[in-house]
Homo-oligomer: A and B are copies of this chain.
């Protein structure tokens, strides 16, 4: 299985701007990417990055030792550089390898709750296409086993991907995973990372002062000290 991880770190996670600065969002995005890469490797596959420009994590302004560690970690991964929009870049990468028996996966870089167990369920799901829907209509992870399929990540891509598969006569397996459904886009998603994460992204949030906030009215949020 070839496993692609698209990642863009120029202006990431703008919807987290109410709670994180631009530099913090870049650091946190890299932490999530590291967690995703770790989980894929622990399943036994070698992730390939798909980036709009060469990745230089050490230039991102993070503090020294941790940043050097992360830079080395990510710098050692194979990477395809393609500056087109996400769907075009993914489709081009998928088209590089086609043929009988070729299995390719696309796993988003902001799945901070991804575990080897959850990814194994995705990779083992049947179907010409296997989809892990994201909350909010997106597609957080895919396995593609037929070159008749192409991606279109804009908008309600889960629905679009099912339609694209159906129009090509391809079967679709849907993976029911809260972990894979949780892409981290909004401040409320940080709570999920604090509660269910166990990697660098969760540690980054804790080091940045975030904690679970059990409010008096029974709702749960995050606070930053």
Query: What sequence of 0s and 1s flags, for each residue 183-225 of chain A, a beta carbon within 8 Å of any chain B beta carbon?
Result: 0000010011001100000000000000010110011100000
Find the B residue at minimum CB distance from A132.
B178
The answer, among B115, B156, B192, for a CB contact under 8 Å with A135, is B192
> What are some 25 contacts across the A-B interface (CB < 8 A)?
A117-B176, A118-B176, A133-B178, A135-B135, A135-B178, A135-B182, A135-B192, A136-B188, A136-B219, A136-B220, A137-B191, A137-B220, A154-B218, A155-B214, A155-B218, A155-B220, A156-B195, A156-B214, A176-B177, A176-B178, A176-B179, A177-B178, A178-B178, A178-B180, A181-B181
Whether, in the assembled complex, A158 has its beta carbon less than 8 Å from a beta carbon of chain B, the answer is yes
Q: How far is the CB of A36 from chain B (nearest CB, A)?
A: 16
A212 neighbours in B (Cβ, 8 Å): 137, 156, 159
- How many monomers of this protein are in the complex? 2
Q: Secondary structure at chain A's binding surface: helix, strand, loop or mixed?
A: mixed
A115 neighbours in B (Cβ, 8 Å): 176
Q: How far is the CB of A185 from chain B (nearest CB, A)?
A: 10
* A154-B136 Cα distance, complex, nearest whole Å: 26
6 other contacts beyond A155-B218, A156-B212, A156-B220, with CB at 8 A cut-off? A115-B176, A133-B196, A137-B191, A137-B220, A155-B214, A176-B179
* A135-B176 Cα distance, complex, nearest whole Å: 14
* A184-B195 Cα distance, complex, nearest whole Å: 20
A156 neighbours in B (Cβ, 8 Å): 195, 212, 214, 220
A133 neighbours in B (Cβ, 8 Å): 178, 195-196
Query: What sequence of 0s and 1s flags, for each residue 8-22 of chain A, a beta carbon within 8 Å of any chain B beta carbon?
Result: 000000000000000
Q: How far is the CB of A83 from chain B (nearest CB, A)?
A: 18
Q: How far is the CB of A220 from chain B (nearest CB, A)?
A: 4
* A195-B61 Cα distance, complex, nearest whole Å: 40
* A154-B159 Cα distance, complex, nearest whole Å: 35
Query: What sequence of 0s and 1s flags, for each residue 153-186 of chain A, a beta carbon within 8 Å of any chain B beta carbon?
Result: 0111011000000000000000011111110000
